[in-house]
A and B are shown apart, each in its own frame.
Chain A
Amino acid sequence: MWQWFFKLSSPKWFYTISGQLMPWLATLTTLLLGVGLVWGLAFTPPDYQMGENYRIAYIHVPSAAIAMGCYYMMACMAAAFLIWRIKMADMIAKACAPVGMTFTALALFTGSVWGIPTWGTWWIWDARLTSTLIMLFLFIGVMALRSAYDSEAAGAKATAVLTLVGVVNVPIITYSVKWWNTLHQGASSLSLSNTAANPPQIWVPAFFVGFGLLGFYLIAIILRTRNEILMRERRTEWVDEILSASKSKGQGLS
């Protein structure tokens, strides 16, 4: 267990393993996304209530879930960095912020696009949209703080503290926004995520797209982390070898 932990915290090990894993992950992601999207967008029957509009939920629901999960992942990495001083954890946390922010933005965008035909307006203060918007603010805050520090090391620690403060708040924020929404009775009863009662031909493709997006998310995180590793370890011998090898081949990094 500890040995595994120790290995994982070594940038070189992460770089090697993730490099080997990448083709498999990429293939799997492409398959999942391809099958899921074609099936979901072209072959499943329209919803009796929302017609064709609901199909955007295939993107919206997973990206919202991934965005939320990304924050928690970032918080775990922040904790690992602060407690055990694992530099690798900070590199992953650093990769999480922009990726999570993009997924949050994607969830907001798809939610708005869905809102135009459904609610007649692209934005309503619905509990889910509102908490997603706040999530976006949290990601922006984390990124803003990191970039405000000149010192990489201090910025990393400060960001980790902020992330942990944020993660304690996330459930409270979500709960408060839900409660606020019931108090004001603003939103319509239609929601993109009430898919529980749907037949299998609707949720099976959702399953494919969901895992496909998850794969895409992991790829994005891994690629960003690998770049970060090369940046920070640029003075080590093994990175030097990789760089000179890729230069002599005259192509990008594998």
Chain B
Amino acid sequence: MLTVNNLYCERDERVLFQNLDFSVAEGEAWQIQGSNGSGKTTLLRILCGLNDEFTGEILWRGIEQRKARQDFNREVFYLGHAPAINKALTAKENLSWYCASRGLTNTDQIKTVLNSFNLYGYEDMPCYLMSAGQQRRVSLARMLLSQAMLWMLDEPFTALDKQGVLELEVLLSEHAKTGGSIILTTHHNLQMDYPLQSIDLDALAGLVAA
């Protein structure tokens, strides 16, 4: 589905990764590993198309990602560090705009998905009244609403309580079992009943050739 050929990226005179090749197929879960500052977030942002400071090739179903932007965006979900939630709006309002921005008109789902994230009764509460964990759940609710095949998740477990972590792990393995794909970064020790493949950025780093 997503193929990466010979990816190279440097920042501040430092090579974050070079000769990076991998391919994510349907039903695969990948974890990007590396120490702080090793470029995990940068790699994810490059893969989802938010950062274009790289050389190499990123193919989406055989077509260059830049040229297949619309299809790519429809099938890929990205969860960044920032919650992407406007605090003046309620959970429902935030999510209904999100659905519209994905071209989805079926807004009945929003309530069901919010319920499944333990946000029953919070639909109409402005997000600034919610706790960090609850806001995180609203962000994560987008993951299910997006109907995307490939989930790119940057530290998805941040701010979640124990119960939330367990539920998210179940969600992730369910997604992979039903043919979806996942690329994620996390410092959390994953307990998933699903095989994980990994990319180790520390092994790919280096200094810029003098």
Residues on A lying within 8 angstroms of B by beta carbon are: 153, 235
The answer to whether A235 and B209 have CB atoms under 8 Å apart is: yes
The answer to whether A235 and B53 have CB atoms under 8 Å apart is: no
Interface SS of B by simple majority: loop
Say yes or no for B89: interface residue by CB 8 A criterion: no
Would you give the shortest CB distance from A73 to chain B, in whole angstroms? 26
Say yes or no for B171: interface residue by CB 8 A criterion: no
Interface string of B180-210 (1 = CB under 8 A from A): 0000000000000000000000000000111
For chain B residues 39-75, which have a beta carbon within 8 Å of chain A? 53
Would you give the shortest CB distance from B105 to chain A, in whole angstroms? 34
The answer to whether A153 and B208 have CB atoms under 8 Å apart is: no
Q: Which A residues touch B208, using CB under 8 A?
A: 235
Q: Which B residues touch A235, using CB under 8 A?
A: 208-210
Would you give the shortest CB distance from B8 to chain A, in whole angstroms? 14
Interface string of B147-179 (1 = CB under 8 A from A): 000000000000000000000000000000000
Q: Which B residues touch A153, using CB under 8 A?
A: 53
Interface size class of B (residues with CB under 8 A): under 10
When C-beta atoms are compared, the residue in chain B nearest to A85 turns out to be: B52
Residues on B lying within 8 angstroms of A by beta carbon are: 53, 208-210
Q: Which A residues touch B210, using CB under 8 A?
A: 235
When C-beta atoms are compared, the residue in chain B nearest to A240 turns out to be: B210
When C-beta atoms are compared, the residue in chain A nearest to B210 turns out to be: A235
Would you give the shortest CB distance from B195 to chain A, in whole angstroms? 37
Would you give the shortest CB distance from B18 to chain A, in whole angstroms? 14
Would you give the shortest CB distance from B56 to chain A, in whole angstroms? 14
Would you give the shortest CB distance from B167 to chain A, in whole angstroms? 38
Inter-chain CA distance A235–B210, complex, in Å, is 5
Would you give the shortest CB distance from A243 to chain B, in whole angstroms? 12
Would you give the shortest CB distance from B2 to chain A, in whole angstroms? 22
Inter-chain CA distance A15–B184, complex, in Å, is 44
Would you give the shortest CB distance from B55 to chain A, in whole angstroms? 11
Inter-chain CA distance A235–B208, complex, in Å, is 8
Inter-chain CA distance A115–B209, complex, in Å, is 57
Q: Which A residues touch B53, using CB under 8 A?
A: 153
Inter-chain CA distance A235–B209, complex, in Å, is 7
When C-beta atoms are compared, the residue in chain A nearest to B208 turns out to be: A235
Task: Please give me the 3 A-B residue pairs with the lowest Cβ-Cβ distance, nearest first.
Answer: A153-B53, A235-B208, A235-B210
Q: Which A residues touch B209, using CB under 8 A?
A: 235
Inter-chain CA distance A50–B209, complex, in Å, is 63
When C-beta atoms are compared, the residue in chain A nearest to B53 turns out to be: A153
Would you give the shortest CB distance from B120 to chain A, in whole angstroms? 43
Inter-chain CA distance A235–B207, complex, in Å, is 11
Would you give the shortest CB distance from B132 to chain A, in whole angstroms? 29
Would you give the shortest CB distance from A108 to chain B, in whole angstroms? 38
| 4 pairs, A vs B, C-beta closer than 8 Å | A153-B53, A235-B208, A235-B209, A235-B210
Inter-chain CA distance A153–B208, complex, in Å, is 17
Inter-chain CA distance A235–B14, complex, in Å, is 12
When C-beta atoms are compared, the residue in chain B nearest to A236 turns out to be: B209
Would you give the shortest CB distance from B165 to chain A, in whole angstroms? 35
Would you give the shortest CB distance from A241 to chain B, in whole angstroms? 13
Inter-chain CA distance A153–B54, complex, in Å, is 11
Inter-chain CA distance A45–B208, complex, in Å, is 63
When C-beta atoms are compared, the residue in chain A nearest to B13 turns out to be: A235
Would you give the shortest CB distance from A116 to chain B, in whole angstroms? 51
Would you give the shortest CB distance from A109 to chain B, in whole angstroms? 41
Would you give the shortest CB distance from A235 to chain B, in whole angstroms? 6
Inter-chain CA distance A153–B53, complex, in Å, is 8
